[in-house]
Amino acid sequence: MGIIVQKFGGTSVGSARRMKNVVSIISGGEPKIVVLSAMAGTTNSLVDITRCFYRKEVDEANKIITRLEQAYAGHIEDLYTSVAYKEKALELVTERFNEIWAFAGTPFTVFDEKVVLAQGELISTGMMHLYLQELGMKSALLPALDFMRINADGEPDMSYIEEHLGTLLSRFPDTDIFITQGFICRNAYGETDNLQRGGSDYSASLIGAAVHASEIQIWTDIDGMHNNDPREVSGTRSVKHLSFNEAEQLAFYGAKILHPFCIAPARKRNIPVRLLSSMNPQAEGTLISDLQDDNIIKAIAAKDNIFYVKFESKHCLCPYQFISKIFDTFAKHRTPLCLLVSSNQDVSVAIDNSERLCKILAELEQYAKILMEDRMSIVSVVGNMRWQYAGVEAQIIEALADIPLRMISYGSNDSDVAFVIKTEDKKRALQALSNKLFEPETDKVTG
């Protein structure tokens, strides 16, 4: 029998009632590794605490910690039945907050910050493990810091993860439910680190790949990947199936339900990923696999905080040297390109990381006249976009006829057509594309 990896986000474990709902989902069936995020709101509070520590505002940190401890005391009162388990849970929370308080009034570093941020996941998994014990369910708590590691380049150390996770699992041969933390890990130097915001999805995918899981399930408060952003567009609906490439494009271009990095480990081991709703467990959700169906247009996503940069050659270099110089400069400064289009003499790029942009532009201004715009967005129409499907691009362009396009990218892969527009035009663009490309639910009438 295979093993399933199930990840539950902060909203799914955001209260005692929702934790109990998670238990009803993970109970029974095949063995499973359950990956938990911190309870909703906890990580934001921990970030605020670290800011106070950096600024040596101990009194303000105390206020935030006190509020958070009081919130957890309420969750504990609602979650557990027996006095004994309430006391165990309070001891757990007190121990974690003492770990945080150890940094108050001392020189606070980025390494200390990682330790503080890890406490949210350690609390949620500890509470869940205690609750399963109170219910008499056999479970094991697998500390992510004992097996999840990144290398010196910040990439997952898969051989280490597989070896150490396998060793931990072998210690519990008769256990069907394993609880572990998402997001947190150790770095190559053994220090507490993390996989960045949204990293619990990534944790689940890495764990799934390491144990050759039969399926990876990402449980959130949304019933699968929607065909457009429901915060911006009315009448969206969940997509039943996506290929790995389609899902990866949607995640990269802004679909919040999925971490952009979590597809690659699953695709490498050909493990299906299923997006499900803990608020509506009966919903079909979205299945992501290596299968490609014939539905041409699947979904639309948008990515904000984009910088558009156009390089017009000063003809100091021949065309191929000019393009090479641009690529080499971005690579030198470890700044990836979200989109790229070029002509014989000019190059336009869109990036979402401006940290080193000033240095990049300073190096390239001797070779090019540079135009830079911020407050831009990338809109991506994702689906089975093989060139043989004539007319799809025309439909997309027609839908955006009234919206200025700074950049169009098509043909680099078979999964998307992407545009760069001003962020102020994004909502209008998303709605126009939905109206043109998707049949409204109200029009789907069976006779």
Cα distances (Å, whole numbers) of residue 300 to 22, 28, 222, 317, 438: 30, 36, 16, 39, 10
> H or E segment at 419?
strand 416-422
Q: What is the pLDDT of residue 343?
A: 84
Neighbours of 31 (CB within 10 A): 17
Separation CA 230–CA 435 (nearest Å): 14
Separation CA 416–CA 250 (nearest Å): 9
Q: Which of 351, 370, 273, 344 is CA-nearest to residue 307?
A: 351
Q: What is the pLDDT of residue 387?
A: 56
With a CB cutoff of 8 Å and minimum separation 6, the contacts of 374 are 306, 307, 308, 354
Tens-digit pLDDT string for the chain (447 aa): 589 999 999 999 999 999 999 999 999 889 999 999 999 999 999 999 999 999 999 999 999 999 999 999 999 999 999 999 999 999 999 999 999 999 988 899 999 999 999 999 999 999 999 999 999 999 999 999 999 999 998 899 999 999 999 999 999 999 999 999 999 999 999 999 999 866 899 999 999 999 999 999 999 988 889 999 888 988 888 899 999 989 988 888 877 788 878 899 999 999 999 999 999 999 999 999 988 766 678 899 999 999 999 999 999 999 889 999 999 999 999 999 999 999 878 999 999 999 999 999 999 999 999 999 999 999 999 987 765 555 678 888 899 999 999 999 887 777 888 999 999 999 999 999 999 988 765 444 333
Strand partners, 368: 313
Q: What is the pLDDT of residue 443?
A: 42
Separation CA 266–CA 320 (nearest Å): 37
Q: What angle do CA 208, 213, 214 make, to 5 degrees?
A: 135
Burial classification of residue 319, based on how many CB atoms lie within 10 Å of its CB (0-12 exposed, 13-18 middle, 19 or more buried):
middle
Residue 102 DSSP class: T
Query: Phi first, then psi: what are they for 216, rounded to 5°?
Result: -110, 125
Query: Phi first, then psi: what are they for 280, rounded to 5°?
Result: -145, 75
**Buried-state track 93-116, b at ≥16 Cβ within 10 A, e below 16:** beebbeebeebbeeebeeebbbbb
Separation CA 446–CA 443 (nearest Å): 9
Separation CA 207–CA 121 (nearest Å): 16
Separation CA 218–CA 8 (nearest Å): 6
Secondary structure (DSSP) of 275-325: EEESSSTTS--EEEES---S-SEEEEEEEEEEEEEEEEE-SSS-HHHHHHH
**What does pTM read for this prediction?**
0.87
Burial classification of residue 297, based on how many CB atoms lie within 10 Å of its CB (0-12 exposed, 13-18 middle, 19 or more buried):
buried
Cα distances (Å, whole numbers) of residue 138 to 84, 91, 133, 175: 18, 21, 7, 6
Tell me if 286 sits within 8 A of 275, measured CB to CB.
Answer: yes
> Strand 4-8 relative to strand 192-194: parallel, antiparallel, unpaired?
unpaired
Residue 153 DSSP class: T
* Collapsed DSSP state (helix, strand, coil) of residue 420: strand
Q: What is the pLDDT of residue 388?
A: 54
